[in-house]
A and B are shown apart, each in its own frame.
Chain A
């Protein structure tokens, strides 16, 4: 019995049971309300349907809470229990290996076609694990059913002629809506908490300062966690990208908002936005297959020039320049559409004033519109930089893996995001310094982009208010 439950896909079953219970509760509540009013439903404070909704809500809400708690904590409870039951010599292994041992048990136990391994202790533990999972499920289901029944009777007991069922139901809906809005906040909390937690675990093994200011990065094989080369690579590539995106994006925005006819604008703007819709992995492929060979060939050609010392440029098959150029193309639409917005927000009266003084269009743009739009444009550029720093696929595919500090853009450099992917791809153990370093890098990345974003969003908001 316990064993069958341990294997059963209970989630769907429960979902169906809960849905059925909700329907039944709705029907009961509605009938009861009609009964209370003896058919004259206009006597009721709320429509009978709302009484039905209320009972249904009272029935499933407590059950849902219990099941949610079970999903969150059920497995950890089972694991804690099985850890307590394992013999002393295995418990003496230490937290990490114990956790891995239980991982293996859990994996073995959840596979239904798993055969006995022959290791008596392991098999017994695995069987016990299945039983415990079954037990915890039965307990959770029983509790949920009890809670649902309790809620159901509570809901029924509240119904009466002047019971404000609609208001209660709407309170419930509002709370549900609030929960949905809160998920966004929970996500942020989840990001900060998980990154911080894992990063702190990393910093308990590796000194913060040697991480932030060390110049040797060799996380895959050695234990060198000096992240300066990664920061350098990240910012160099972001800088190269901005060299492409800032002028092209800005000039496109100026042309589109000040010079282009509505017809041209309506054609060109969607084309530029197409650039933003192309997946980054496609840009990465483009950088790797098309741009990187050109960069390499150009570098080889420059090396061959008579007055250039031999090996002046590294001319690697993947290079910071290739990644930077393509990333620049990718963020053109960010710069252009954000700048377009701020330029359009500059009041027409300012322009008209300038024209009245006899200024040409370009003089108006350079001396009136741009100074007025400057904070917004800077914010747009900041957002673009933050985007460039956090971009992953282009650099993973076209920038390389070598952690080094060199001003030569044709050398292969590595970035924060490349290292995160390299460290966490494939099978990862959550307790090695190698894996944890990825979270420390992620934390740095999050903080840096957050600062950029916060400044940019604040400036944009201030700026909008100024001209509204």
Chain B
């Protein structure tokens, strides 16, 4: 028998090739097993990071928005045809302001004989309600009627998306200078360019951007000479045939530099037309398009137009709902926990309540929505879509969470506190309310805030009690029709237009900011006040 102290020399017989191989295999298995664990954690973290990056990436474009800085001549004949000077009448006259904007835009950008389709393209760069702030500003100071004022007019969501690099893949190419030009703006233009190489480069870019997999439509080139824009129709050798789109109505002079903007999709396949792009580029070159912080996201209520939709009403709705939830769940939860932890006799009823609370915590949230629909709305006859009902449903939903957290906080208070209180003559109730509860308060509040955070993110039960209604106004009270942030996110995510996507992501970030704040408060409370015995 070898004693361990004699070491490796005498154990030679055990260290066979076979044993070493087995040992290596075992160590390999060990390393692999550890790797699986690291891999699992890695995947989870990558998933979290991907989620956050994809949402922040989407949202980043929604926090800024492009506006056109426009000198608008406020004409009384449009905005206040009856000369009432009444702020209400003026503020409501959206169609008058709209018409005024359209006519002044047409004066600047369209020729006299422009047909209706072209007009519609120009007007389509703004949504109808974009003049709403102008109408309100004019109503607030009627003396501006008759003068020229500079306003920032929100561009339509598609134009905004184009300016942010969306809508279509694109590339700019310099095509060189004009050698000769003929034709007219009305009937089409044929240009001969100085350099064949540059035209070949343009053609190569066109082929490169043509997407053969999707619609098989060739790429399109918009050409710019000075401030005038044309569309490339055909090209052969050094000659290009163009149609006029927008800008000063003239032929490029000889020697003028030509630039091309090549777009992967033709205008049939995108939401912004060639002419709108030309106008946008002209305005951008003039420095009249500005990117602004999108404050509408926080100041406006819901709207059918993504560029005018905001979260204000939903934030207020969420706050009202949370208020009702807190008023129900926090006191009832704390009292229930106090009863179960301090007073409840050990009997069947108590254990039933305990099992029941644990089960209730695991009931799917949508079931609470069904409860709300059946009991609060159908049976008790409370109105749909109001924060009161939403708050009650969410209050019942987070009640088990609050109870469980409060019980944990109460158990953490050592029994010596209770016995000391009883020892100096306090009653059971006094020992609990004067000593145990204050000591457990930080833990209880932490649990309560975490429960509230859960309620704030909850969507499904609220859908069932009608909080999906379109609410265009900030609610006044808990009996007013309203919606909440997560439901607004759900609604926006179902929007058909592309512009809803960044908007939804931005609303998600607003929600996440609230959640992070609440959790931070909980963490601070815990760090600052929690005592360990």
A residues sitting closer than 8 Å to B (CB atoms) are 71-72, 75, 106, 166-167, 170, 173-174, 176-178, 180-185, 187-188, 190-191, 194-195, 197-198, 247-252, 254-256, 258-259, 268, 271-272, 274-275, 277-286, 288-290, 329, 332, 336, 360-363, 365-366, 383, 386-387, 389-393, 396-397, 417, 420-421, 424-428, 430, 438-439, 442, 445-446, 449-450, 453-454, 457
Which one of B357, B493, B494, B501 has the highest number of Cβ atoms from chain A below 10 Å of its Cβ? B493
**Can you sample 5 A-B contacts with CB below 8 Å?**
A249-B40, A271-B48, A272-B44, A288-B493, A392-B364
A274 cross-chain contacts in B, Cβ below 8 A: 48
A106–B369 CA distance with the chains assembled, in angstroms: 24
A167–B427 CA distance with the chains assembled, in angstroms: 9
Shortest A165–chain B CB gap in Å is 12
Cross-chain contact A417 with B374 (CB below 8 angstroms): no
Known A-B contacts A285-B489, A393-B490, A439-B370; A184 and B364 likewise in contact (beta carbons under 8 Å): no
- B51 contact from A75, A166, A174, A286, Cβ within 8 A: A286
Cross-chain contact B489 with A282 (CB below 8 angstroms): yes
Shortest A339–chain B CB gap in Å is 11
Cross-chain contact A184 with B367 (CB below 8 angstroms): no
Cross-chain contact A426 with B339 (CB below 8 angstroms): no
Within 8 A of A (CB), among B14-45: 26-27, 29-30, 32-34, 36-41, 43-45
Which one of B33, B335, B399, B512 has the highest number of Cβ atoms from chain A below 10 Å of its Cβ? B33
- The chain B residue with its CB closest to the CB of A397 is B493
Cross-chain contact B378 with A280 (CB below 8 angstroms): no
Cross-chain contact A278 with B51 (CB below 8 angstroms): yes
In the A-B complex, list the 5 residue pairs whose CB atoms are closest, starting with the nearest: A390-B364, A255-B37, A279-B457, A251-B40, A362-B33
Known A-B contacts A259-B34, A438-B370; A453 and B364 likewise in contact (beta carbons under 8 Å): no
B38 cross-chain contacts in A, Cβ below 8 A: 255
Shortest A351–chain B CB gap in Å is 15
A438 cross-chain contacts in B, Cβ below 8 A: 370
- A365 contact from B33, B50, B363, B459, Cβ within 8 A: B33
Cross-chain contact B29 with A362 (CB below 8 angstroms): yes
A311–B38 CA distance with the chains assembled, in angstroms: 38
Task: Write the B44-59 contact mask toward A (1 if CB under 8 angstroms, else 0).
Answer: 1101101100110010
* Main secondary structure on B side of the interface with A: helix
A254 cross-chain contacts in B, Cβ below 8 A: 37
Task: Write the B420-433 contact mask toward A (1 if CB under 8 angstroms, else 0).
Answer: 00000001110000
Within 8 A of A (CB), among B480-515: 486-487, 489-490, 493-494, 501, 504-505, 508, 511-512, 515
A289 cross-chain contacts in B, Cβ below 8 A: 54, 58, 493, 501, 505
A288 cross-chain contacts in B, Cβ below 8 A: 493
* Main secondary structure on A side of the interface with B: helix
12 A-B pairs besides A173-B429, A180-B335, A184-B400 with CB distance below 8 A are A185-B352, A187-B399, A190-B375, A279-B511, A329-B48, A390-B367, A392-B364, A417-B364, A424-B369, A445-B366, A450-B363, A457-B358
- A280 contact from B357, B459, B466, B512, Cβ within 8 A: B459
A362 cross-chain contacts in B, Cβ below 8 A: 29-30, 32-34
Q: Does B360 contact A (CB under 8 A)?
A: yes
B residues sitting closer than 8 Å to A (CB atoms) are 26-27, 29-30, 32-34, 36-41, 43-45, 47-48, 50-51, 54-55, 58, 331-333, 335-336, 338-340, 343-344, 352-353, 355-360, 362-371, 373-375, 378-381, 396, 399-400, 403, 427-429, 453, 456-460, 463-464, 466, 468, 486-487, 489-490, 493-494, 501, 504-505, 508, 511-512, 515, 519
- B362 contact from A259, A386, A417, Cβ within 8 A: A386
Cross-chain contact A361 with B359 (CB below 8 angstroms): no
A278–B374 CA distance with the chains assembled, in angstroms: 28
- B460 contact from A283, A421, A427, Cβ within 8 A: A421
- B490 contact from A277, A281, A360, A442, Cβ within 8 A: A281
A252 cross-chain contacts in B, Cβ below 8 A: 37, 40-41, 44
A288–B427 CA distance with the chains assembled, in angstroms: 58
A61–B330 CA distance with the chains assembled, in angstroms: 22
- The chain B residue with its CB closest to the CB of A441 is B370
B371 cross-chain contacts in A, Cβ below 8 A: 187, 190-191, 194-195
Shortest B380–chain A CB gap in Å is 7
- A390 contact from B48, B366, B399, Cβ within 8 A: B366
B457 cross-chain contacts in A, Cβ below 8 A: 277-282
A71 cross-chain contacts in B, Cβ below 8 A: 380
Cross-chain contact B370 with A277 (CB below 8 angstroms): no
Cross-chain contact A251 with B39 (CB below 8 angstroms): yes
Cross-chain contact B339 with A180 (CB below 8 angstroms): yes
A166 cross-chain contacts in B, Cβ below 8 A: 427
A188–B460 CA distance with the chains assembled, in angstroms: 19
A392–B363 CA distance with the chains assembled, in angstroms: 12
Shortest A451–chain B CB gap in Å is 11
Known A-B contacts A285-B508, A365-B33; A170 and B427 likewise in contact (beta carbons under 8 Å): yes
Cross-chain contact B360 with A188 (CB below 8 angstroms): yes
A390–B343 CA distance with the chains assembled, in angstroms: 34
Known A-B contacts A386-B362, A390-B364; A281 and B40 likewise in contact (beta carbons under 8 Å): no
Known A-B contacts A255-B38, A286-B51; A277 and B400 likewise in contact (beta carbons under 8 Å): no
B369 cross-chain contacts in A, Cβ below 8 A: 420, 424
Shortest B265–chain A CB gap in Å is 18
B494 cross-chain contacts in A, Cβ below 8 A: 397
A283–B429 CA distance with the chains assembled, in angstroms: 45
B490 cross-chain contacts in A, Cβ below 8 A: 281, 284, 393, 396-397
- B375 contact from A167, A194, A277, Cβ within 8 A: A194
Shortest B6–chain A CB gap in Å is 18
- B44 contact from A106, A290, A332, A361, Cβ within 8 A: A332
Which one of A182, A185, A249, A449 has the highest number of Cβ atoms from chain B below 10 Å of its Cβ? A185
Cross-chain contact A285 with B374 (CB below 8 angstroms): no
Shortest B334–chain A CB gap in Å is 8
A63–B364 CA distance with the chains assembled, in angstroms: 37
Cross-chain contact B396 with A187 (CB below 8 angstroms): yes
Which one of A252, A285, A336, A420 has the highest number of Cβ atoms from chain B below 10 Å of its Cβ? A285
Cross-chain contact A285 with B505 (CB below 8 angstroms): yes
Shortest A95–chain B CB gap in Å is 14
A268 cross-chain contacts in B, Cβ below 8 A: 41, 45
A254–B343 CA distance with the chains assembled, in angstroms: 39
Cross-chain contact A181 with B515 (CB below 8 angstroms): no
Known A-B contacts A170-B427, A190-B371, A362-B34; A420 and B336 likewise in contact (beta carbons under 8 Å): no
- A184 contact from B360, B453, B487, Cβ within 8 A: B360
B375 cross-chain contacts in A, Cβ below 8 A: 190, 194
- The chain A residue with its CB closest to the CB of B48 is A275
